[in-house]
Amino acid sequence: MGNKMKLEVVKISSLRPDPQNARKHDERNIAAIAESLAQFGQRRNLVITHDGVVIAGNGTLEAAKQLGWTELAVDRTPKEWDEATARAYALADNQTSALSEWDDAVLTEALAELVEEGYDITALGFDLIAEPTVEVLEPTLVSEEDAFGKLPDGDRSEYTQMSFTVTHEQAETVKDAIARCKTLNGYDLDTGNQNSNGNALSFIAQDFIRGLG
């Protein structure tokens, strides 16, 4: 059985959608395909049977029609392919795409870069990227009772946990200040606190207060 396909550019009017296409294309999907075609052109050939039925690329066919295109590049299957072979290929083509997954971290970073470059990612079928929270709250004191549940009398300590909400940039500044403070001698006095970050942050605060006079 021959597997070699034949590359052609054909009139859209000569193509027929697959009446048994198992892959659904809603309006949003077709709009995203049309936007991709408009911006980047056709970069993937349709696959059609010898008599012009589209077995891979029905969404592209519909989007091209909406754009008013008159021609598309296609790969025509060999004459030897019977209907079952063409159907098997159509299902395999759709399933291999469906089995792949996005790397969310890489995708988010890539979309963010496109947004910065001025691309409308929603037109390409992606949702808007949520902006990072830039909320700044007053320090919230959290006692051990609140943080870890009520402790029996006699087991309470003098320690208090504090939580802050800062921007990513502010967080980097705080971490840098704590790291630099740890390189100094004297910040880690006999405070009774074994947490070096807490000691460093306290030293920074005391130094700031002393600077105010």
Residue 174 to residues 50, 54, 115, 180, 198, Cα–Cα distance (Å): 67, 59, 29, 10, 12
Q: Are both 126 and 163 inside the same structural domain? A: no
Number of domains within the chain:
3
Within 8 A by CB and 6+ apart from 64, the residues are 12, 34, 37, 42, 72
Q: What is the C-alpha to C-alpha distance for residues 19 and 30, in angstroms, rounded to an integer? A: 17
Q: Is this structure's pTM higher than 0.85?
A: no
Q: CA angle at residue 153 from 148 to 158, to 5 degrees?
A: 60
What CATH number did the domain enclosing 59 receive?
3.90.1530.10
Q: Alpha-carbon distance 62 to 34, whole Å?
A: 9
Q: Same structural domain for residues 148 and 107? A: no
Q: Does residue 31 sit in the same domain as residue 117?
A: no
**Together in a domain, 21 and 78:** yes
Please give the pLDDT value at position 136: 47
Question: Residue 75 has which token pair?
Answer: 């790969």
166 and 107 co-located in one domain: no
Residue 187: pLDDT band by 50, 70, 90 thresholds? low
Mean pLDDT, residues 65-93 = 90
Cα radius of gyration (the chain): 31
Indicate the residue among 131, 152, 182 that finishes a domain: 131
Whole domain around residue 16: which residue ranges? 6-100
Note whether residue 1 is domain-resident.
Answer: no
212 compared with 184, residue with greater pLDDT: 212
**Residue 16 and residue 53 in contact, taking contact as beta carbons nearer than 8 Å:** yes
What is the tens place of the pLDDT at every residue in 11-70? Answer: 999 999 988 887 788 898 899 999 999 999 999 899 999 889 999 999 999 999 999 999
Between 55 and 148, the more confident residue is: 55
Domain end: 50, 81, 100, which one? 100
Q: Which residues, in sequence order, are CB contacts of 103 under 8 Å at separation 6+?
A: none
Helix (H, G, I), strand (E, B) or coil at 25: coil
Residues 20 and 91 in one domain: yes
